[in-house]
């Protein structure tokens, strides 16, 4: 439901929407009216049809058919980076080998909330921007630009050449996240679930930081850690 509303707020219209018969149809009446006014074809179906279509995911009584999301290219990223730097220190999120679609969706949602300018993913080890990512992101997959790069280590080198400070996250880092300076142009690198950043990615970072862990667990889910790290950047950039 939230993902469909986010599409409408962005001025986009699904070509077809399936709505669950019964209570969901009445509960979503306003949304259905808006979709109809935008030219969407509404089809009323039983719940088991939506369950089958969404492969068991919680659909809240509505599923929209939309064109697939396609990541932006490197060329667009470099052009946009120059534009961002004219207005404010850019904040980029880099996901190195994060392949779980639920984690990627949650990372995009946090990125949107934190005002991230763009998310960078490698071409070879990244989750697709599929329906699950878009649902978990609750509209953030449509609002936060995602850029796909062929060679992540080379892209990090170019970011540094363009004045962006690369901060990687690693459990064995000596410095704490809260000791880092995020006031300037920043790219925050989050590693894959379990394995962390790849060696070449780690070597391309300007600095490594860690979250101070006071309990028994040694690490956090990558999407949870991403939210904590991004909002430390937000905290540091608040007006004094």
CATH number at residue 25: 3.30.1330.30
Residue after which a domain boundary falls, among 48, 65, 82: 65
In DSSP notation, 140-169 reads HHHHS-EEEES-HHHHHHHHHHTTPEEEEE
Domain with 32, as residue range(s), is 2-65
Say if residue 114 is in the same domain as residue 171. yes
Residues that constitute the known binding site: 191, 211, 220
Handedness of CA 221, 223, 227, 233 (dihedral sign): positive
**What does the pLDDT look like over 194-235, one tens digit per residue?**
788 999 999 999 999 999 888 777 778 999 999 999 999 999
Residue 227 and residue 144 share a domain: yes
Residues annotated as binding site for S-adenosyl-L-methionine? 191, 211, 220
What's the number of CA atoms in the CB half-sphere (13 Å) around residue 123? 9
Q: CATH number of the domain that 207 lies in?
A: 3.40.1280.10
Residue in this structure with the two tokens 């935008």, named with its chain if needed = 38
> Cα-flanking dihedrals φ and ψ of residue 158, to 5°?
-70, -40
- Rg over CA atoms, the chain: 20
Q: Please indicate, yes or no, whether residues 82 and 164 belong to a single structural domain of this protein.
A: yes
Contact 61, 54 (CB under 8 A): no
Residues 222 and 203 in one domain: yes
Tally of structural domains, the chain: 2
Helix (H, G, I), strand (E, B) or coil at 10: coil
DSSP state of 177: G
pLDDT tens-digit readout, 76-128: 999 999 888 888 899 999 999 999 999 999 999 999 999 999 999 999 888 88
Mean pLDDT calculated for residue range 18-39: 88
Reported as half-sphere exposure (CB side, CA atoms, 13 A), residue 171 has a value of 14
């Amino acid at each position: 439901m939230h993902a469909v509303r986010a599409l409408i707020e962005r001025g986009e219209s699904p070509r077809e929407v399936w709505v669950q018969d019964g209570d969901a149809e009445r509960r979503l009446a306003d949304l259905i009216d808006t979709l109809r006014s935008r030219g969407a074809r509404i089809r009323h179906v039983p719940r088991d049809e939506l369950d089958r279509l969404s492969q068991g995911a919680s659909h809240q009584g509505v599923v929209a058919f939309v064109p697939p999301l396609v990541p932006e290219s490197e060329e667009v990223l470099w052009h946009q980076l120059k534009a961002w730097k004219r207005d404010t220190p850019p904040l980029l999120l880099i996901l190195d080998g994060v392949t779980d679609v639920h984690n990627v969706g949650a990372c995009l949602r946090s990125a949107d909330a934190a005002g991230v300018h763009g998310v960078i993913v490698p071409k070879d080890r990244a989750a697709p921007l599929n329906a699950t990512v878009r649902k978990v992101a609750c509209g953030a997959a449509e609002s936060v630009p995602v850029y796909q790069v062929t060679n992540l280590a080379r892209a990090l080198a170019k970011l540094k050449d363009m004045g962006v400070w690369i901060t990687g996250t690693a459990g064995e880092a000596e410095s704490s996240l809260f000791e880092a300076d995020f006031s300037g142009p920043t790219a925050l690198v989050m590693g894959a679930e379990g394995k962390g950043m790849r060696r070449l990615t780690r070597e391309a970072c300007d600095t490594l930081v860690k979250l101070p862990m006071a309990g028994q667990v040694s690490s956090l889910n990558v999407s949870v850690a991403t939210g904590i790290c991004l909002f430390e950047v937000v905290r540091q950039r608040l007006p004094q």
